[in-house]
Amino acid sequence: MVFTIDLSGSTVVVTGGNRGIGLAMSEAVADAGANVAILYRSHPEAEKAAENVAKQFNVKCKAYKCDVGDAAQVKDVIGKIEGDLGTPIKGLMANAGVSVVKPALELKPEDFNYVYQTNVLGVFNTCREVAAHWIKNGTKGSMVVTSSMSSEIYNQSGLNKPLTQVFYNSSKGAVTNMCKALAAEWAEHGIRVNALEPGL
């Protein structure tokens, strides 16, 4: 028996959903019948990616320009999605992430802010806003957050050399533990929060 998931009649929000892993997530939930809201910060091809998903899978898919590190922007966008797409938000895939690759001794405070603003605060902003929406409406839902194997290990850049991305690794450790805390806190509302830790 083939295991299938039917997400028809629902909307899934995918941050960073216009390329890479995020685009694959957008396509997967669309293939299962969900309408898709893609949140992106600046990529010029995001709207085209949304159009392609909608056409390929015969669903509604819209791209929303949104810096997830800005709580006000996230609140505004989440408030628009159901009206635009016509189906209730039932899932969130918090995938947006960035990295700075530099030796630790060369890192600056602005590098920390850049990484943590998206990877940690951005995840929290989107999870909190969607959870608040669900709790207000008595909706049960599922969140999948893209963490990384880098939350558990140090990465190598060939020849046993460490990949110098300390802020990225530590941000993903924060994300994994954030998911554990939010899952425990929101379980009583029927909200599931899980971290995905991909890697090579």
Strands 89-94 and 11-15: parallel
Residue 140 among the catalytic residues = no
148, 150, 151, 171: the catalytic one is 148
Q: Is 168 a catalytic residue?
A: yes
d(CA 82, CA 78): 8
String of DSSP letters for 106-161:
G--HHHHHHHHIIIIIIHHHHHHHHHHHHHHHT--EEEEEE--GGGTS--B-STTP
Instruction: Say if residue 100 is exposed, middle or buried (CB neighbours under 10 Å; 0-12, 13-18, 19+).
Output: middle
Structural contact between residues 13 and 91, judged by C-beta atoms closer than 8 angstroms: yes
Say which of 40, 64, 116, 168 is annotated catalytic: 168
Catalytic residue among 60, 62, 90, 172: 172
Catalytic residue flag (residue 154):
no
Q: Which amino acid is at 99?
A: S
The position carrying tokens 């016509």 is: 86
Q: Give the closest residue to 39 by CA, choosing from 69, 9, 6, 83.
A: 69
Question: Which residues are the active-site residues?
Answer: 148, 168, 172
